[in-house]
Amino acid sequence: MDFFRPVSLAEALELKAAHPECTPIAGGTDLMVELNFDKKRPETIIDLTACSELQEWSRDNGTVRVGAGVPYSRIIAELATDLPGLAIASRTVGSPQIRNRGTLGGNLGTASPAGDGIPPLVAVGASVELASTSGTRSMPVTEFITGVKENALRGEELITAINVPGSRGPQQFSKIGTRNAMVIAVATFSVALDLEARSVGTALGSCSPRPLRASDAEAFIADEIDWDGRTPLPESAAARFGELVADAARPIDDVRGTAAYRKHALKIMAKRTLTWTWEEART
Amino acid sequence: MSAPTKTIEVTRVRGGVGENAARPDGIPKVTGEFAYSSDLWAEGMLWGATVRSPHPRARIVSIDIAKALALPGVWAVLTHDDVPGNKTYGLEIPDQPVLAWDQTRYQGEPVVLIAADHPETATRAADLVDIFYEELDPITDPEVAMDPGTDVLHPEAKNPHNLIRHVRIRSGDPDASADVVVSGEYTIGMQDQAFLGPESGLAVPDGEGGVDLYVATQWLHVDLDQLAGALGLTEDRVRITLAGVGGAFGAREDLSMQIHCCMLALHTNRPVKMMYSREESFFGHVHRHPARMYYEHGATRDGDLVYVKARIILDGGAYASSSTAVISNATCFAVGPYEVPNATLDGYVVYTDNPPCGAMRGFGSVQACFGHESQMDKLADALGMDPLELRIRNAMTTGSKLPTGQIVQGPAPVKELLESVRDMPHPDPTPSGPLDLTLLPGGVSNTTHGEGVRRGVGYGVGFKNIAYSEGFDDYSTARVKLWSAGGEPIVEVHTAAAEVGQGVTTIQMQIARTELGVEQVVVLPADTQVRSAGSTSASRQTWMTGGAVRKACEAIRVRVLTDALVGLDGDPGDLSLEGGKVISSSLGVVADLADAIGDAAYEETYEYHHKKTFPLDPETGQGDAHVAFAFSAHRATCDVDTELGLVKVVELATAQDVGKAINPQAVEGQIEGGTAQGLGLAVMEEIQVKDGKVMNPSFTDYLIPTILDMPPMQIDVMELGDPDSEYGVKGVGEPPTISSTPAILAALRNASEKPLTHIPVRPDHFLWSGERPGELGP
C-alpha cells in the first residue's frame, strides 16, 4: 500500500490527479474502522491532516466556509453561534476522542445516511466545495450525496470546504440512539428557522438512503407560524408538522431500529425541536 | 536464640486483610504499560489466522488448501486431518470439533488454520482457502429444536431431541392452589461479555515436541486438560502461563485459540501468535444464554407465596460448553431468594445452530432473576401490595429450604438488604435548573428538554451459588515460601489463580501479609507448574484461592514459630508474627522474623477444598448441590421519555453481603462493574441473531454502557461472615449483575406502565400497544 502525506492542498490535488483511485483520510474515524474490519483494502491512501488550508474556517458575507478538515470539537467550540444546528449535531458525534479527530469533510465523503453532520447542512441549504487541479466546483449537499455511502466526488477531486449559510434564526438538532452517548443514529432531525425569509428548513437523517428535506412540512409550518405577532405555536400545528415530517421519511428495518419506530420518533422529534426553536425566537 | 535485649516498636504491616491495598497492575493499566496477551511477541514468530464457516449450518463437501499454501509467506495451512489428538473438546461434554470436518453448526465455526510470517499474509491466505459447503436450513428456535420431528444436531448426544439437559425440580404439592395467580412469559436476548482484550496468545514450541502457551484465560488447568488431549501430548509437555487478561466475565472459560495456536507452533516449529479482531471475537467465544421463561406464581390474599411453576428454556447454541451447569443454576434459583412451599420447575437447555452459549457473570441466575422479580412485581400489583413489602414478607432467611430441599446455612439477609436499599436517600427529582442534557433520557443527543419524561423506582433482589456445585470438587492449591534476604523477610505466593482484573493477585498478597506479618509479598505469575486453583468463575477465587493461601501461610507460621521457640520458655500458641517480628504475648518482641528465619526457607503447599456437595436427583431435583449462597439487592431510579422510549438510569442503590471485604475498594469496584453489566443487559446489550447469523458483531452496534449511561451508586457493603469460609468471605463479582437488571426493569415499568417482558428493552418496546411486537401506540 502506498501512503502519501502532502503538506499543502496544491500538493494534495496533484497527488489526487496522479492517483485518482486513492482514498483520502483525515480523522480516520470511518476509514480505520473499515480497514480494521477488512471491508476495504485501498491500494493508496492520502493523508490530508498536514494540509493546513483544510483546517480553517472563515466568514464571508453571511456564509461560513468550513474547511473540510475542521474537526467536530472545533465546530462545537468555535461555531456554536454562527452554525448552532451544526454545533448541536457535532456534539452528538461519537466520543471526545472521535470529535477531536472526525471532520465534516469525512462525514460527507463517507456519505452514510447516519452521518450526524449532514442533516444540519441540508436544513440550511449548505453546499460542498470540490477541488481538483483543474479548478473548483460547488454543489448543494443534497445533490452531492447520491445514495447510501455514494457521492458525486470525482476521482481527481477532494472535498475542500462546506459553505454553510450563517444562522438567521434558532436551529435545533435531535438524534435517537439506544445509548445516551457515542451511538450511531437511529433517526435524526434538523430544523432551522429563517426569521428573515420567514421560512423553516428541515432535514431527516437515518431515515432514507439520502438526506431528505420534509418540504410539505416546511411549507405547512411557514404558513402556520405567526412571524409578526410571535404568538405561541398552537400545539396542533406542531403536531401536524411532526406528522408531515414523518410522512416524508423512507425508513427501513435494521439492526438499530424499526421503520415504524423511526417514523414515530421523527414525529416526536420534529414537534419538539420546532417548538424549542420557535420559543427561542419569540423570547 | 537469645532473649530479647531491646524493645522495638512493632507496626503492623500495611496492605493486609481489610485494607484498600494497591493493586500491582493498577498503575501499569492506567498508564498503558500493562502487557496484555495481545502484546506478546517472540523473535521470529508467525501469525495465526482462522478460517471460519460463514454458514450457521452446512455440510462440508470439500476443503482445498492448495492455493493458500502456495502463497509466499505462508508456513502452514491445517485442517481437521492435522489435529494430533482428540478431535473434539468441551468443558463438560467434548462435543466441539477442534476444526470442523463433516459439518458446521454455527456461523463462525473454525475449519482451517493458517500460519504466516505477517498477519496480513495470513488473512489473505485465509481468503484463498476454498471450502465447498452444502448449506442446510439452520435450527434456530430452541423450542422447535426440541420437537421430535426436528433434525438432531448431535446424534452422539446422550439425550434425544437436541436436549443438552433437562433439570426437573419438584417440591411440595404439585397441585397446590392459591387465591391469587399471576403468570407471565419473559424473554432475554443474547448478551456478550464484551471484554476489551480480544482472544490472544503466543505458543512457543520447546523443540522437543512440547509447547509453552502464554494466554489470557480463566482456568489454566482445564485448558491444559483439553489442550494436551487435542495435541496428543502428556500434560507435562504442555505448559501454560497466564498472560495479561483484558477482562473475562465467563467468556474465557471455554477454549478459543489455545489448541489452534499450539497446533500451528508445533507444526511449524516456530513461535506463533494469534489475536482475534473485534469482529472475530464475537464469533470466538460463548455468550450468555438467551432465555424464554414461562412463570406462574400463586399466593394467598395476604401475600404469602403458595407455589411457583416455571418452565425455562435456554438456547445453548451449537455446542454444550457449560450449558449443563447454567441450566442447573437457572432452575435451582428460579423462584428467587424466597420461601416457596411448592415448586414445579423445569429447565431445558437445547442445541441449536445459534452461536454457542456458556458462562457469563451470573451464570443462569441472571435469567431466572429477571423472571422471578418480574413476577413478584406483577404479583404485588395483583395483590394491591407494595412490591417491597411482598418481597420482605416472603424473604428467605438462614434455615430456609430451597426447592431442591437444601437448607440455607450461612447468612441470608434478604430482608435486611431490601430494607437497606429502601431506606437509602432518594436521588433529587428531575433537575429544573439550567438545561443539562446529560441528566435526561437521550443524553447529549438532545431528544427532550423534559417533555414526556416520567420517573420510576423499582427493586430487585437475587442470589446465586458460590463455587461449583453438584458434587464438583473445584479445589485450589497455593504454594507459599518464606525466606529472608538482606535482612528482610520475603514471601512468595504461587497459585494458578487467573487474575482477570478482579484483583485476586492483590487478595493473595493481602492474606500473606496478614498471616505472616511480612510486607514484602511477591505473587508469581499463574502457571501450570503449580496444581490447579480452579476457575476464576462462580465468584469463588477469594474464597478458594484466598483460603488456600491462608492455610499455606498458617502452616508456615506454625513451623517458623516452632523453630523460633527453641531456647525460649513458652508454647507456640503464645507467639505470633507481626510487622516482621516474632512476638510473644508475654515477652514482647522476641526476634526479628528475618533473624528467626536465618538461612532457612520455609515452603508449604496447601490444597483447599470446599465442603462436599451432591448431585440433584434427576426426577425430583432434590439434593444439597451448592456450597453457599451470595445475595444482593438493588433499587433503581429511572427516567423514561415515554414518547420516545429513551431511558436515563438516574441512580442505582445496592446492598450486598460480601461476608468479609478483604479489599473494600476492590469490592466496590466489583459491585459497580457488575451493576453496569446488569444495566447493559437491561437497556442495550444484545447480540442480534437472525437465521443463525450475528447481525451486530462490533462495538458500533453491540452497545455497552458509557459513563453517561452508568449513574452514580449508593453502596451498602454488609460483612456478615460466612461460617464455612476463611475470614467469612463470600464471593462478590456476580450478585450485582443479577439483581441490577430486574430492578431497572421494575423502575422502567413503574415509569412507563408498560409490561416490558423482554430484555434488553429497546425504545419501541415502550410504544407497543401489547406485550409483543405490534402496532406502536400514539
Structural domains in chain B, CATH included, are 26-34+474-608 (3.30.365.10), 402-464+627-778 (3.30.365.10)
Question: A259 in contact with B at a CB cutoff of 8 Å?
Answer: no
Domain end point (choices A148, A165, A182):
A165
What residues of B are in contact with residue A178 (Cβ under 8 Å)?
683-684, 703, 762-763
Residues of A in contact with B275 (CB under 8 A): none
| pLDDT level of residue B3 (50, 70, 90 thresholds) | very low
Interface contact B187, partner A, CB < 8 A: no
Contact residues, B window 110-149, toward A, CB-based 8 Å cutoff:
123
Spell out the long-range contacts of A51-59 with Cβ–Cβ below 8 A and sequence spacing 24 or more. Answer: A51/A6, A51/A7, A51/A8, A51/A9, A51/A11, A51/A12, A52/A8, A53/A8, A53/A9, A53/A160, A54/A9, A54/A26, A54/A105, A54/A160, A54/A161, A59/A166
B642–chain A nearest CA distance, Å: 11
Same domain for A113 and A195? no
Distance from CA of B696 to the nearest CA of A (A): 7
Task: Name B13's Cβ contacts closer than 8 Å, sequence gap at least 6.
Answer: B513, B514, B517, B518, B519, B578, B579, B580
Q: Are A233 and B673 in contact (CB under 8 A)?
A: no
Query: Does A38 contact chain B (CB < 8 Å)?
Result: yes
Amino acid occupying residue B68: A
| Residues A158 and A184 occupy one common structural domain | no
Query: Tell me, what's the pLDDT at B681?
Result: 98
Residues A137 and A189 in one domain: no
CB B758 within 8 A of CB B189: yes
Instruction: Say yes or no: A128 and A235 in one domain.
Output: no
Residues B442, A180: C-beta atoms closer than 8 Å: yes
**B777 has pLDDT over 60:** no
DSSP state of B71: S
Q: How many domains does chain A have?
A: 2
CB contact under 8 A, A183 and B451: no
Question: What type of residue is B374?
Answer: S
**Residue B150 contacts residue B138 (beta carbons within 8 Å):** no
Contacts of B424 (CB under 8 A, 6+ apart): B635, B653, B714, B716
For residue A165, give the C-alpha cell.
Answer: 449559510
CA atoms of A245 and A207, how far apart (whole Å): 11
Please choose, from the candidates B211, B222, B215, the residue with its C-alpha nearest in 3D space to the C-alpha of residue B200.
B215
Instruction: Considering only the beta carbons, identify the residue of B447, B448, B767 that sits closest to A264.
Output: B767
Give the gap in angstroms from C-alpha A234 to the nearest C-alpha of chain B.
16
- Tally Cβ neighbours within 10 Å of residue B137: 11
Nearest to B763 among A36, A88, A178 (CB): A178
Helices of type H across B424-540: 504-516
User: In angstroms, what CA-CA distances link B384 with B378, B380, B389?
Assistant: 10, 6, 11
Task: Tally the C-alpha atoms within 13 A of residue B334's C-alpha that lie toward its C-beta.
Answer: 37
Asked if the C-beta of B158 comes within 8 angstroms of chain A's C-beta atoms, the answer is no
SS3 B467: coil
A183 interfacial to chain B (CB closer than 8 Å): yes
Q: Are B516 and B559 in contact (CB under 8 A)?
A: no
The answer to whether the CB atoms of B644 and A91 lie below 8 A apart is no
Query: If you measure CA to CA, which chain B residue comes closest to A259?
Result: B764
This complex has an ipTM of: 0.96
DSSP B687-705: B-EETTEES--STTTS---
Q: B480 has which bridge partners? A: B493, B604
Asked if A6 and A137 sit in the same domain, the reply is yes
Domain boundary residue, one of A150, A165, A180: A165
From its phi and psi, is residue B207 left (phi > 0), alpha (psi between -120 and 50) or beta? left
Dihedrals phi, psi of B682, to nearest 5 degrees: -65, -40
Query: Please, is B301 exposed, middle or buried when counting C-beta atoms within 10 Å of its C-beta (0-12, 13-18, 19+)?
Result: exposed
* B397 interfaces chain A, CB cutoff of 8 Å: no
Tens digits of per-residue pLDDT, A202-227? 999 999 999 899 999 999 999 999 99
Is B444 close to A178, i.e. CB distance below 8 A?
Answer: no
Residues of chain B with Cβ-Cβ distance to A172 below 8 Å are 446
Indicate the length of chain A as a whole number.
Answer: 283
Q: How much is the pLDDT for B567?
A: 75
- The separation between the first and the last C-alpha atoms of chain B, rounded to the nearest angstrom, is 88
User: Is A172 an 8 Å CB contact of chain B?
Assistant: yes
Each residue of B711-734: pLDDT tens digit? 999 999 999 999 999 999 999 999
Q: Are residues A122 and A257 in the same domain?
A: no
The DSSP H or E segment spanning B18 is none
- CATH number of the domain bearing residue A245: 3.30.390.50
Q: In whole angstroms, what is the distance from residue A282 CA to residue A229 CA?
A: 9
Rg value, chain B, Cα: 27
Q: In B40-195, which ranges are continuous DSSP H helix?
A: 66-70, 119-128, 142-145
- Report pLDDT for B357: 98
Q: What is the pLDDT of residue B1?
A: 43
**Distance between first and last Cα of chain A:** 57
Same domain, A65 and A91: yes
Q: What CATH number should be reported for the domain holding residue A157?
A: 3.30.465.10
Segment B163-212, tens digit of pLDDT = 999 999 999 999 999 999 999 999 999 999 999 999 999 999 999 999 99
Q: What angle do CA B271, B533, B544 make, to 5 degrees?
A: 155
pLDDT tens profile B404-418? 999 999 999 999 999
> What residues of chain A, 78 to 107, have a C-beta less than 8 Å from chain B?
88, 91-92, 95
Q: A76 and A159, same structural domain? A: yes
Q: Are residues A24 and A75 in the same domain?
A: yes
pLDDT (0 to 100) of residue B9: 64
Closest CA relative to residue B686, chosen from B188, B186, B185, B195 = B188
Q: Cα distance from B420 to chain A (closest Cα, Å)?
A: 29
CB contact under 8 A, B123 and A38: yes
Helix axes A259-282, A235-248, angle to 10 degrees: 140
* Per-residue pLDDT tens digits for B418-477: 999 999 999 998 667 788 999 999 999 999 999 999 999 999 999 999 999 999 999 999
A233 touches chain B (CB under 8 A): no
**Pairwise CB contact (< 8 Å): B447 & A176:** yes
Long-range contacts of A231-235 (CB under 8 A, 24+ apart): A231/A282, A232/A278, A232/A279, A232/A282, A233/A274, A233/A275, A233/A278
Question: A42 and A151 share a domain?
Answer: yes
Chain B residues within 8 A of A94 when measuring between CB atoms: none
**Contact between B614 and B443 (Cβ < 8 Å):** no
Torsion (CA) B275, B281, B284, B289 in degrees, nearest 10: 150
What is the rounded CA–CA span in Å between residue B580 and residue B490? 10
Peptide bond into B760 cis (omega under 30): yes
Query: CB distance B445–A184 less than 8 Å?
Result: no
State how far residue B724 is from chain A, nearest Cα, in angstroms.
43
Containing structural domain, residue A59: 2-165
Helix axes B365-383, B323-332, angle to 10 degrees: 20
Q: What is the rounded distance in angstroms from the CA atom of residue B704 to the CA atom of residue B443?
A: 15
Q: Does A180 touch chain B (CB under 8 A)?
A: yes
By C-alpha distance, the chain A residue nearest B643 is: A268
Q: Which of B442, B688, B776 sits opposite A264 (nearest CB)?
A: B776
pLDDT of the residue at B434? 85
* pLDDT score for B586: 83
Is pLDDT above 50 for B6?
A: no
Closest residue in B to A269 (Cα) is B447
| Grid coordinates given for A265 | 420518533
- Would the CB atoms of A178 and B684 count as touching at under 8 Å? yes
CB pairs under 8 A between A and B: 97
Q: CA-nearest residue of chain A to B124?
A: A38
Same domain, A180 and A158: no
Read off the pLDDT band of B8 (50, 70, 90): low
Answer yes or no: do A272 and B709 touch at CB < 8 A. no
The strand pair at B238-242 and B58-64 is best described as unpaired
Closest residue, chain A, to B774 (C-alpha): A260
Query: Could you say which residues from 16 to 35 on chain A have a Cβ atom under 8 Å away from some Cβ of chain B?
Result: 33
Contact B701 A173 (CB under 8 A): no
> ∠ CA B482-B485-B490 to the nearest 5 degrees?
35
CA distance A123 to A244: 15
Contact: A88, B446; criterion CB under 8 Å: yes
| Residue among A193, A175, A194 nearest A185 (CA) | A175
Residues of A in contact with B681 (CB under 8 A): none
Contact yes or no for B79/B99 (Cβ under 8 A): yes
Chain B hits for A256, CB-CB cut-off 8 Å, are 701
- Three cell numbers, residue B406: 437444601
pLDDT tens readout for residues B504-545: 999 999 999 999 999 999 999 999 999 999 999 999 999 999
Which residue among A174, A268, A276 places its CB closest to the CB of B445? A174
Mean pLDDT of B274-278: 97
Q: Do B709 and A184 touch (CB under 8 A)?
A: no
* Chain A residues touching residue B444 (CB < 8 angstroms): 91-92, 180-181
Please tell me the distance in Å from B111's CA to the nearest CA on chain A: 20
A85 interaction partners in chain B (CB closer than 8 Å): none
The pLDDT score that the predictor gives to residue B665 is 97
Instruction: Let me know whether A138 and A44 are in one domain.
Output: yes
Which of A125, A147, A165 is a domain's end point? A165
For chain B, say whether A41 makes contact (Cβ under 8 Å): no
Residue type, B773: P
Residue closest to B87 by CA, chosen among B223, B230, B256, B222: B230
- Chain centroid to Cα A269, Å, comes to 17
Inter-chain touch A264–B701, beta carbons under 8 Å: no
Task: Convert A172-194 to b/e letters by CB count within 10 Å (16 or more is b).
Answer: bbbbbbbbbbbbbbbbbbbbbbb
Q: What is the pLDDT of residues B135-148, one digit of tens each?
A: 999 999 999 999 99
Asked if B422 contacts B458 with a C-beta cutoff of 8 angstroms, the reply is no
pLDDT tens for chain A, 283 residues: list them. 899 999 999 999 999 999 999 999 999 999 999 998 888 889 999 999 999 999 999 999 999 999 999 999 999 999 999 999 999 999 999 999 999 999 999 999 999 999 999 999 999 999 999 999 999 999 999 999 999 999 999 999 999 999 999 999 999 999 999 999 999 999 999 999 999 999 999 999 999 999 899 999 999 999 999 999 999 999 999 999 999 999 999 999 999 999 999 999 999 999 999 999 999 999 8
Q: What is the pLDDT of residue B774?
A: 65
Per the structure block, which three cell numbers stand in for B484? Answer: 529472608
3-state secondary structure chain A: CEEECCCCHHHHHHHHHHCCCCEEECCCCCHHHHHHCCCCCCCEEEECCCCHHHHCEEEECCEEEEECCCEHHHHHHHCCCCCHHHHHHHHCCCCHHHHHHCEHHHHHHHCCCCCCCHHHHHHCCCEEEEEECCEEEEEEHHHHEEECCEECCCCCCEEEEEEEECCCCCEEEEEECCCCCCCCCCEEEEEEEECCCCEEEEEEECCCCCCECCHHHHHHHHHHCCCCCCCCCCHHHHHHHHHHHHHHCCCCCECCECHHHHHHHHHHHHHHHHHHHHHHHHC
A175 touches chain B (CB under 8 A): yes
- Name the percent of chain B lying above pLDDT 70: 98
- Would the pLDDT of B770 be above 60? yes
Phi-psi region of A3 (alpha: psi -120 to 50; beta: other; left: phi over 0): beta
A258 at interface of B, judged by CB pairs closer than 8 A: yes
Question: Residue A268 and residue A259: Cα distance in Å, rounded?
Answer: 15
| pLDDT, position B568 | 75
